[in-house]
């Protein structure tokens, strides 16, 4: 394989190639240009010199893999975030995209990242390699006159977020997001330990004893129509979210509306008064994910305490060569006292071989079987969807009724949300 790790010496070539692909200027002589790839990332690429007619010193294709973590059903899973994947115009149509993306999937497996995530500009080309759309990042335009109708909440006060209070906001985010699916953990080195750069601002919501109950973050933009970009609004309770929305109404003296970024099925939606909110007309970013290691993905999450039983799960993946990753296979999946166990079952093994993994020692041969293609697995294993949802999308997801009920219960939870920053 011609794919190799990129080093600091390759940064200028890579940045030159990606700036041409995605737009924007790049001046390698600028003192602000980084001297190497960011900490917490793996950069991969293909040298043009390895290709017919290719020039030395040119990166023909390259990408970066972020070493992220995402929350998953009460647990945490490592996730390879694919960014900056581009192919030089001189080498498009030569199969480099597929070669590079297959190498990315293999590297995620090698570096024990059971999931991979990306924001696609063209979902269909990533779908060929097993990625599946699992979420979209939506925003609403909300008139501030509507928010002014919300009543203030007694017993709450607002505190400016500073370098000193930013650790409290991060801790609160971790607490409030732990029951979600797919939200990024947002820890260094990929996320700065201090404040995000200006014009970012935020407020913490406290009670009289100084305990944090929520926060709202935003950036002030130009313009009088939509002058505030609200990045996110989190609160412990409905009243806390109301207090934060009420605080945003104070911006009505300088702008007419806010752009409010939302999680999937965001509880904030249940508090918006009036009917003035409208969808943001900007393009809606899609989020695609792919299972890299089925057993590790399942075992990263917590099972509902009441769920006790086991099934056989078969995942089929013909989108990458066998051995690229550990998504495909036969797995004995059990849930007991909140713990998920997933053991790979060897093809042709005796029916009793997996009996020890089953609560109560039930024979493996007696288990119900769920069969998923890689797209259904990538949709379902990040939570919040049912096998019926997968079938509505035309994905292969089959099981008998008791097995389907077990898998749906195991993977239940809110639909995945991916918000890239505070």
Please give the C-alpha separations between residue 75 and each of 41, 113, 236, 400, in angstroms, as whole numbers.
22, 14, 19, 28
Q: What count of other Cβ atoms lies within 10 Å of the Cβ of residue 33?
A: 12
Q: From 3.40.630.30, 3.40.630.10, 3.40.50.10490, 3.30.930.10, which CATH number describes the 4-113 domain?
A: 3.40.630.30
* 3-state SS class at 291: strand
Q: What are the pLDDT tens digits along the chain (422 aa)?
A: 699 999 999 999 999 899 888 887 777 777 777 888 999 999 999 999 999 988 888 999 999 999 999 999 999 999 999 999 999 999 999 899 999 999 999 999 999 999 999 999 999 999 999 999 999 999 999 999 999 999 999 999 999 999 999 999 999 999 999 999 999 999 999 999 999 999 999 999 999 999 999 999 999 998 778 999 999 999 999 999 999 999 999 999 999 999 999 999 999 999 998 789 999 999 999 999 999 999 999 999 999 999 999 999 999 999 999 999 999 999 999 999 999 999 999 766 544 444 444 654 556 667 999 999 999 999 999 999 999 999 999 999 999 999 999 999 999 999 999 998 88
Q: How many other C-beta atoms lie within 10 A of the C-beta of residue 123?
A: 15
User: Could you tell me how far CA 367 lies from the centroid of its own chain?
Assistant: 32
CATH topology of domain 138-279: Aminopeptidase (3.40.630)
CA 235 to the chain's CA centroid: 21
Can you tell me the distance from the alpha carbon of 172 to that of 185, in angstroms, rounded to the nearest whole number? Answer: 12
* Residues 322, 106 contacting (CB under 8 angstroms): no
pLDDT, position 351: 44
Q: Which residues pair with 70 in a beta bridge?
A: 77, 184
Q: Contact at 8 Å (CB) between 303 and 335? A: yes
| Residues in CB range of 35: below 8 A, 6 or more apart | 8, 11
Q: Give me the pLDDT at residue 106, please.
A: 98
Residue 385 gets the label, from left (phi > 0), alpha (psi -120 to 50) or beta, of: beta
> Looking at residue 346, what is its pLDDT?
79
SS3 357: helix
- DSSP letter at 268 equals G
Question: How many helices (H) and strands (E) are present in the chain, helices listed first?
Answer: 10, 20
What angle (nearest 5°) sits at the alpha carbon of residue 359, between those of residues 355 and 364? Answer: 30
DSSP-derived pairing of the beta strands 369-373 and 397-399: antiparallel
The DSSP H or E segment spanning 242 is helix 238-248
Query: Going along 14-167, which residue ranges are E strands?
Result: 41-47, 59-72, 75-87, 115-118, 132-136, 138-143, 157-160
Q: pTM of this prediction? A: 0.93
CA distance linking residue 370 with residue 378, whole number of Å? 14
Architecture in CATH of 293-410:
2-Layer Sandwich (3.30)
Write the CB contacts of 30 (distance below 8 Å, at least 6 apart in sequence): none
Which residues belong to CATH 3.40.630.30 in the chain? 4-113, 138-279
Q: How far apart are CA 5 and CA 28, in angstroms?
A: 21
What is the model's pLDDT at position 355? 44
Contact status, residue 154 vs residue 205, Cβ threshold 8 Å: no
Q: Residues 6 or more apart from 24 whose CB is under 8 A from it? A: none
Please check whether residue 265 is in contact with residue 415, taking contact to mean a CB–CB distance below 8 angstroms.
Answer: yes
Assess contact for 180 and 263: CB atoms under 8 A.
Answer: yes
Intervals of CATH 3.30.1050.10 along the chain = 293-410
Q: Look at residue 223 in the predicted model and tell me its pLDDT.
A: 73
Taking the CA atoms of residue 384, residue 335, residue 302 and residue 411 in that order, the dihedral angle to the nearest 10 degrees is -10
Q: Which residues contact 122 (CB under 8 A, 6 or more apart)?
A: none
What does the pLDDT read at residue 365? Answer: 62
DSSP 194-209: SPPPTTEEEEEEE-TT
Instruction: Determine contact, residues 397/366, Cβ cutoff 8 Å.
Output: no
């Amino acid at each position: 394989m011609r794919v190799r790790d990129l080093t600091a010496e390759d940064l200028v070539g890579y940045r030159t190639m990606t700036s041409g692909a995605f737009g924007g200027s790049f001046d390698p002589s600028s003192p602000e240009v980084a001297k190497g790839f960011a900490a917490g990332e793996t950069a991969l690429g293909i040298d043009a010199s390895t290709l017919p007619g290719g020039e030395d010193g040119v990166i023909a294709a390259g990408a970066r893999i972020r070493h992220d973590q995402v929350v998953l059903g009460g647990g945490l899973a490592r996730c390879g975030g694919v960014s900056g994947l581009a192919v030089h115009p001189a080498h498009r149509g030569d199969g480099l995209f597929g070669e590079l993306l297959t190498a990315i999937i293999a590297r995620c497996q090698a570096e024990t990242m059971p999931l991979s995530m990306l924001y696609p500009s063209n979902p269909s080309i990533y779908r060929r390699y097993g990625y599946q759309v699992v979420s979209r990042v939506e925003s609403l335009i909300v008139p501030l006159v509507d928010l002014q109708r919300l009543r203030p909440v007694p017993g709450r006060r607002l505190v400016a977020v500073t370098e000193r209070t930013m650790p409290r906001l991060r801790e609160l985010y971790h607490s409030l997001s732990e029951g979600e699916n797919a939200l990024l953990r947002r820890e260094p080195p990929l996320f700065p330990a201090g404040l995000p750069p200006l014009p970012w601002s935020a407020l913490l919501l406290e009670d009289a004893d100084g305990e944090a109950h929520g926060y709202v973050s935003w950036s002030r933009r130009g313009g009088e129509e939509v002058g505030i970009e609200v990045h996110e609004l989190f609160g412990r309770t409905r009243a806390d979210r109301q207090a934060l929305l009420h605080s945003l109404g104070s911006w009505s003296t300088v702008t007419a509306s806010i752009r409010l970024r939302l999680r999937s099925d965001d509880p904030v939606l249940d508090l918006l008064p009036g009917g003035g909110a409208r969808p943001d007309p900007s393009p809606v970013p899609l989020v695609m994910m792919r299972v890299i290691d089925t057993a590790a993905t399942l075992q990263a999450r917590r099972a509902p305490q009441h769920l006790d039983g086991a099934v056989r799960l078969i995942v089929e993946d013909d989108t990458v060569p066998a051995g690229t990753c550990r998504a495909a296979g036969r797995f004995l999946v059990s849930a007991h006292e909140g713990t998920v166990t997933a053991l790979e079952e060897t093809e042709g093994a005796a029916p009793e071989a997996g009996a020890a993994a089953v609560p109560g020692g039930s024979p493996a041969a007696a288990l119900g079987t769920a069969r998923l293609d890689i797209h259904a697995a990538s949709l379902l294993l990040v939570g919040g969807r049912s096998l019926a949802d997968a079938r509505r999308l035309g994905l292969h997801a089959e099981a008998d009724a008791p097995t389907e009920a077990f898998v749906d219960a195991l993977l239940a939870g809110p639909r995945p949300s991916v918000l890239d920053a505070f």
